[in-house]
Structure formats: C-alpha cells, structure tokens
A and B are shown apart, each in its own frame.
Chain A
Amino acid sequence: MAVPRHVACVMDGNGRWATQRSLPRTAGHEAAEAAVMDVIEAARSSGVTWLSLYAFSTENWRRPAAEVDILMRLVRRAIRKHAPVLHARGVRCRFLGMTDPRIPAPLVRDITDLTTLTSDNRRMTLTVAFDHGGRRDIVEAARSLIRSAMPPDQVTEASFAQHLPYSDTPDVDLVIRTSGEQRISNFMLWQVAYAEWVFPQVLWPDFRAAHFWECLDAYRRRQRRFGEVRQSTTMTGEGLR
C-alpha cells in the first residue's frame, strides 16, 4: 500500500461555505480551523510524513482589509491554541512565505515561536504556506543562484532547487483542492510539477478525515508514470528524487 510521502491541501471554499449559511465570510475561516486539525491528525496517522497547507496567498492581500485582519487574528489564535498539541504529536511546523511587513508583529512572533518549539520534531513536517507565491519563490531562488555566482552550465534542476526556500522539502505527490475548483493558484509551483491532483466537491470547512482518506484512496488507484510510456508501478514517486 503506497502512501504519498508529501500531501498538499489548497483549502478552498471557506467563503462559499459561509455564504451558503448566510454567515459573514469570516465565519467560514473560523470553521476551517476544525478541518485543519482533523486533516493534520488524519495525515499523521496514515503515515504521510510531509503535509503542506495553503493558508494565505500573496494575492489574498487584495481581499477587504477587515477580512484580512480577522484572518490574521484567527491564525494567531489557532497557533496559540494548538501549539502544545502539535508539539506533543511530534509535528515539525514551518511557514513558507512570510515576507510581507503587513503581517502583524505578534503573529510573526508566535509563528517564530512555534517554528522554534517544534524544530526538532520529525514525525511529520507541516508546512503552512502563508503569504506564499510559487512564482515569487522561484524568482527568489534565481536571485540567490545569481548571487552565488554559479557558472550557467552547472545549473541543473537539482542545484536550482537547492536555492528554493526549505530546499529539503520533497516534491509534492498529491494535491487536494477542495470545493471543486480546478486551478493551481500559484501554489508551490516548483514542487507540484509531478503531483497528482484530486478535486473533491466538499468545501474546506466540511472537509474531514474521511474525505482525506478518500483522496488517499484515489491516489492509490492512479498509475503514476512521470512522463514515461510504459506502465510504472511506483506510487510514491520516490524513484525520481
């Protein structure tokens, strides 16, 4: 039974979930917290060792200021609430992105604290893409590569990837995008190159462990070929790395 090593979730549908219930959009974000915790636990118990969550994109800053503000508060509250549990369960937490000065200072400090606290855990690595943009990461990597003055003919995919943030992160095997939307939305562009995608119809606040297992099942039934013609039996894509 092949379990994907690295699963990523694009947590879509919070706004629609709230609208369907005639609630303010922020209620959807609030309800998302339970889904996040459920998925983290489901991933950990099914043996997934890398989990990435797309929490906030660089484009999300364009949302109404009040919504962004509440979102920041919710994230901070969730971090403070769940930090001890995440640490106790051996989850290493990291945050991808996090460059915008608009992120409130207390939130930055809590995020730094959570990262420090869990830095030595190894059971599962949870990467939260916060203020993240896939293209920006690639541009940053290019900058860093140029600064390192590497001769052009020595630049390979592997050496380029060394300059991406958290370069130890393996390629994503499975991306789950909820609410039926089928877009990449600038998410971890480099890492999702060979990922399998599933698009469950359920909105993120309703997404639970059972849905997560269904997605893992769908992944298992697929045959991953990585561009080759003959049938490949590998399901984890580890051979590629």
Chain B
Amino acid sequence: MSHTVPEESVDVFGPDSILRRLVNEARWGLAVTRATLLEAAHPQIGAALMENSTFLTRPWRRLRNTTMSSRRILDPDPRVRDREVARLNRLHARMSGTDAQGRPYDATDREARAWVVATLFESTVTMCRLSGESLDAEAMRRLYDEYRAFLALIDGDNDHLPATLPQFWSYYDDVIEHRLENNEAVGVILYRLFANVPAPPVLRGHPAVWAMGRAVAAPVATAVTISSLPEPFSRRLALPDLPGSRTLMHSAYLTAALATRYLPESWTRVEFFMGLLDPSGAEASPWDAVRRKAGKVAALARLLTPASDASAADESGQVIRSAERFFTDVLDQTGDGCLRWPDLAAMAREIATRLDLGERDEERLFQAYAAWWRELQAALDSDGDGRVTRQEYAAAAALLPGSGLIKIADVLFDVTDADDDQKIDAQEYRNLFRTAFHRDLTGGDGSYSRSAFVRQFVSFMTGRQHSSAYNSLLSQE
C-alpha cells in the first residue's frame, strides 16, 4: 500500500465531503456512542480507556474535546488540521502501560487506531441504514475513502485499513468475531456511564431535575445502544435483548433522521447541543429556556418536598467534607478513588487542549506536573504502590512543601500569557477558563499579575480556597 500523505494545500476531503457534513449533525452522536462501545471492546483500546481516560467522570468535557478535535481534523485549512493531528499524536504517545491483567497497551498502536476508524465508518453506515436513508454503493465508497484519508492523516498511512470495501467487511467481521472481548471498559460504558453521567453544565445547578431525567434516559440509552450493535458481538458478550428494545432503537434513529430533515437546521447542528456544554451561559442561547424551565421545576420540587430543619447541625463536618470533595472533584480525574499519574496527566492534557498549546509549551506543562507527581509520591505514597489514596492525601496534604505546585502555576502563567507581557489580560483569561474575569482578582488595570495568579492557583490546588474558574477548568464535566 502506497503512502497517501496528502499534499500540503489540498483539502483531502473535498468540498462536498460526506464526513464533514455528518460531524456537524447532532445525530452523529448516536453513531459515535455506538462506535465508542465497539472500540472499547478492543483489548488495547479498552485498557487505554480504563487506565487513562476521564470519560467516565467527565464525559461532557470529553465529548466537547472529541467534537472539537474531529472538526479541526476535517478543517479545510491544512495548518489547523496538521496542528490538531500533531497534538492528538502527542496526547496518545503519553498513554501506554500495562492493563490489569498485565498485558501491554499503547494508544499509538496502529492496529487499534485503524479499528477506531473502522468502527466510526461502520457506525456511520449503520446510522444511515437505521435512519431509513441507506447510502448507495457510490456514497458508501466515497465515505470509506474519506475515512481512510482521515486515518492517513492521523497515522501517516492507512495500511491497517483494507483498500476496498469488500475487503473491509471481511476484516470487520473477523475483528468482531475473533478480536473483541467483554472487558471492563464495555461494562463501564453500558452500565455505569449512562446511569451516572453527571449533569451537563447547563443543568448543573439543578441536580434533582437531572437525576429525574437521567433515571428515565439512562436505561433507554443503554437499550438503544445495545440493540444497534452487530448481532455476533451481542451474542459473544451475552448482552441483554429486551422485548421492544429494537423498536425503541429504530424509533430513536428514525426520529433523529426526521428531526435532521425537517427541523430548522440550527436546531440539529452540533453547535446547538454544544450550548449545553457551555458553563458560562453568558450569551442568550436556546438553552436559556431549558435552564430557566429546569430552575423552575427544581424550585417546585424543593418546595414540595417536606422541609428539613437540619441546618446548622453539622458545621464541623463541613471542613472534612470539603477536603473529600476536592479530592473527588478535582484531583481524582479518572474517578478510580485514588491519585495516580494518569489523574495528573489528565489535568495537564485538559489545560493543553484548552490553550491549544504547541509542542514545547505542552512538554513544559507535563514536566511541571511530573515534578509535582514525584513530590506527591515522595511525601504521600507511604506504601510505595504508585498511588496516593484519599486517606494518604488527607493525612498529609497540608504539610506538603508546595514547590511542585508553584512550578506548575509558573508554567501555567507563562503558557496562558500568550503575548508575554507578564500579565494575564481579559482575553487570555477567557481562553483558559472560558469565563470572564472576576473583578476581585485583578489589579487596578484589569489584568492579572504573576504573583496573584500563582497564589490563586496554589490555594485552589491545595483545597484551601474555592474558585469557580478553576472548578470549571478541572473539576466539572
């Protein structure tokens, strides 16, 4: 197979790309969810997801990043595309190790990456099929070529994905039959992710409303996803086949297709749903109405539930609880109950993604986090098992020297201060936190000095001071 690295200036997907149209449609989310499950069943990908990914605890952040990333790769401007590809490759190069059974995994594994693209292609085809608008042979071939071009972009070549469609289908069936397994990641997605998915930012203020809606939506999402999976896969994994679930699944896909066709285009585009993930809610969005309605439902629910008079009774428990919450909300990014290197790497990754850092700055940030991790390990990991438990952290966190954190804050200041004027101005602040300045943080001239920045970061990261800006960066979603 020849290298199909595109020429610099060529838009490899072409002006009438099917893929580019689909990623802008909200219903593509159905295909991506299904594909994610098939990916997770691949041993390499399942292990990498379980060990490194924050998708379970912060699914919304992950969704937002994935959407932005795929759009950048499909961007007609080759510079945007190449920058994103380089970033993704650096990100994945940091994910390797051994899984719980001692098998090695590596996020840059060629075969695994080809499988990711294969599942996306097959899920897209399936989505069209289930929506009642099957792709004809020509469209399917074009879509497959676009996906192969996509793989060639991120991997340098696409040798691991068969050249023709007939070859692809036998490759696909073979992987389904012989390579996939029923691993932890699959179980987590099916039975924990949907059931525990935290409220998206737009509904964060109303956990009760979210919990009510989720109690209905989670089993539906599970049923829809399971029934859309290939039969041999469901059989091997012994996934439940409930009566009516296939009808439910068909209705979901059909509704999505009809909505895409008949509703105003602005309602079914991804941007509309991205509004859900915007915690600031500053500008008037269609979701304001949702936010207001949810607020009223929550208010009514609270007024109708019997009043409790447990007010000032547990003032003392407050402090302990806040330390516990800080550990869960901020430090434990992967949600496994203890602090390990992947947790810290996830924080660095999120900051690097937000600021769209170049290779050098990204490396500095990771180095600073690595230094802090060594400091934490030396001071807190009393049993030397490479992880800091909640108890270990609580017992000794206050005694830490904090030099590692100061170093991170320093680097963070440098990379946020894009124009190197030793001040964080309003725009730079917005890039990092996606929210406007808080008046009391700034000096007289509406900017943020290095010392104030470092001080705020350190007091937030040691759990001494609450900061909604850092919360939105590191803890939510």
Point out residues on A near B: beta carbons under 8 Å.
76-77, 79-80, 83-84, 87, 104-106, 109-110, 112-114, 116-117, 119-120
Which B residues are closer than 8 A to A by beta carbons? 292, 295-296, 298-300, 302-304, 307-309, 311
Residues of B within 8 A of A117 (CB): 296, 299-300, 303
Chain B residues near A114: list those with CB within 8 A.
299, 303
A80 touches B300 (CB 8 A): no
Contact B311 A113 (CB under 8 A): no
Given contacts A87-B300, A117-B300, contact A80 B295 (CB under 8 A): no
Q: Chain A interface mostly helix, strand, loop or mixed?
A: helix
Residue numbers in A under 8 Å from B311 (CB-CB): 104-106
For the complex, what is the distance from the CA of A211 to the CA of B469, rounded to whole Å?
55
In Å, the complex CA distance between A120 and B302 comes to 18
Residues of the B chain whose Cβ atoms lie less than 8 Å from the Cβ of A110: 302-303, 307
Interface of B is mostly: helix
Measured CA separation A84–B292 after assembly (Å): 17
**Other contacts beyond A83-B304, A113-B300: 7, CB < 8 A:** A79-B303, A109-B302, A110-B302, A112-B299, A113-B298, A116-B296, A117-B299
Closest Cβ of chain A to B377, distance in Å, is: 42
* Nearest B-chain residue to A83, judged by Cβ: B303
Bound together, the chains give a CA A106 to CA B313 distance in angstroms of 13
Residue of B300, B304, B309, B311 with highest tally of chain A CB at under 10 A: B300
Min CB gap B359→A, angstroms: 48
Across the A-B interface, how many residue pairs have beta carbons closer than 8 Å? Answer: 42
Closest to B309 in A: A106
- With a CB–CB cut-off of 8 A, which chain A residues contact B299? 112-114, 116-117
Assuming the contacts A104-B311, A106-B309, asked whether A84 and B304 have C-beta atoms less than 8 A apart, the reply is yes
A80 to chain B: closest residue by CB: B303
Which residues of the partner chain A approach B304 to less than 8 Å between Cβ atoms?
Answer: 80, 83-84
**Residue contacts A-B, CB under 8 angstroms, 25 given:** A79-B303, A80-B303, A80-B307, A83-B300, A83-B303, A83-B304, A84-B303, A84-B304, A87-B300, A105-B311, A106-B308, A106-B311, A109-B302, A110-B307, A112-B299, A113-B299, A113-B300, A114-B299, A116-B295, A116-B296, A117-B300, A119-B292, A119-B296, A120-B292, A120-B296
Specify the chain A residue showing the minimal Cβ separation from B299: A113
Contacts of A79 in B (CB 8 A): 303
Please give, as numbers and ranges, the residues of chain A lying within 8 Å of B308 by CB-CB distance. 106
CA–CA, A84 to B302, complex, Å? 11
| Smallest beta-carbon distance B297→chain A, Å | 9
A84 / chain B contacts, CB cutoff of 8 Å: 300, 303-304
CB pair B302 A113 closer than 8 Å: yes
Q: How far is the CB of A185 from chain B (nearest CB, A)?
A: 30
Chain B residues with CB below 8 A from A80, complex form:
303-304, 307
CA A77 – CA B307 in complex, angstroms?
Answer: 9
A106 nearest CB across to chain B (Å): 6
Give the docked Cα–Cα distance between A119 and B304 (Å).
17
Distance of A98 Cα from B300 Cα, bound (Å)? 21
Please give the distance in Å from A99's CB to the nearest CB on chain B: 20
List the B side residues contacting A120 at CB < 8 Å: 292, 296
List the A side residues contacting B298 at CB < 8 Å: 113
Q: In the docked arrangement, what's the CA distance between A151 and B306, Å?
A: 52
Q: What's the Cα separation between A80 and B300 when bound, in Å?
A: 9
- The distance in angstroms between the C-alpha atoms of A140 and B449, with both chains bound, is 34
> A88 to chain B: closest CB distance in Å?
11
User: What is the chain B residue whose CB lies nearest that of A76?
Assistant: B307
Residues from chain B with a CB closer than 8 A to the CB of A113 are 298-300, 302-303
Q: Which of A77, A109, A113 has the most CB of B within 10 A?
A: A113
- Minimum distance in angstroms from B170 CB to a CB of chain A: 59
Give the residues in chain B near A106, CB-CB below 8 Å. 307-309, 311
Separation in Å of the B304 CB from the closest CB of chain A?
Answer: 7
CA A123 – CA B303 in complex, angstroms?
21
Measured between C-beta atoms, what is the minimum distance from A94 to chain B in Å? 14
Closest Cβ neighbor of B307 among chain A residues: A80
Smallest CB separation, B341 vs chain A (Å)? 41
A-side contacts of B307, CB under 8 Å: 76-77, 80, 106, 110
Complex Cα gap A114–B303 (Å) = 8
Q: Chain A: which residue is nearest B306 at the CB level?
A: A80
A76 to B298, CA, bound (A): 18
Q: Which residue of B lies closest to A79 (CB)?
A: B303
In the bound complex, residues from chain B placing their C-beta under 8 Å from that of A104 are: 311
Q: What is the minimal beta-carbon distance from A90 to any residue of chain B, in angstroms? A: 14
**Residues of chain A lying within 8 A (CB to CB) of residue B302:** 109-110, 113
Of chain A, the residue at the smallest CB distance from B293 is A120
Query: Within 8 Å CB of B295, what residues of A?
Result: 116
What's the least CB distance linking B307 to chain A, in Å? 6
| 6 residue pairs, one from A and one from B, having the closest CB atoms | A113-B299, A117-B299, A116-B299, A83-B303, A117-B296, A113-B302
- Give chain B nearest CB distance to A146 CB in angstroms: 18
Q: Distance in Å from the Cβ of B54 to the closest Cβ of chain A? A: 32
Smallest beta-carbon distance A33→chain B, Å: 16
| Contact partners of B309 in chain A: CB under 8 A | 106
Instruction: Pick from B298, B302, B309, B311 the residue with the most CB of A within 10 Å.
Output: B302
Tell me the smallest distance from the CB of A197 to a CB of chain B, in Å: 35
**Cβ distance A130 to chain B, nearest Cβ, rounded Å:** 17
Q: Quote the shortest CB–CB distance from A86 to chain B (angstroms).
A: 10
B292 / chain A contacts, CB cutoff of 8 Å: 119-120
Bound-state Cα–Cα, A113 to B303, Å: 7
